[in-house]
Amino acid sequence: MCGPHFCSMKITQDVRDYAEAHRLDDMEAALAAGMKEKSEEFLKEGAAIYREV
């Protein structure tokens, strides 16, 4: 599945870059850390799925 805002190859590279930037050797650890970070960001912003722009 690819498109201008979603491409599996780009997402995989983003995870690799995140792991390298945060000095995580394991891809699973990088995914878990990234998801935790995004979860906290989502909650701080009000946890609204749809929001006005």
pLDDT for the residue numbered 28: 82
Q: Is residue 3 situated within a structural domain? A: no
Q: Helix (H, G, I), strand (E, B), or coil: what is residue 40? A: helix
Listed in order, strand segments (DSSP E) in the chain are: none
Q: pLDDT for 24-52, tens place per residue?
A: 887 788 888 888 998 999 999 888 888 77
Q: pLDDT for 2-29, tens place per residue?
A: 666 677 788 888 888 888 888 888 778 8
Q: DSSP string covering 32-44, please?
A: HHHHHHHHHHHHH
Q: Is residue 1 situated within a structural domain? A: no
Q: Is residue 19 situated within a structural domain? A: yes
Number of independent structural domains in the chain = 1
Q: Is residue 32 situated within a structural domain? A: yes
Q: Would you say the pTM of this structure is higher than 0.85?
A: no
Q: Is residue 25 situated within a structural domain? A: yes
Domain extent, residue 25, equals 8-44
Q: Is residue 49 situated within a structural domain? A: no
Quickly state the pLDDT bin for 1 (edges 50, 70, 90).
Answer: low
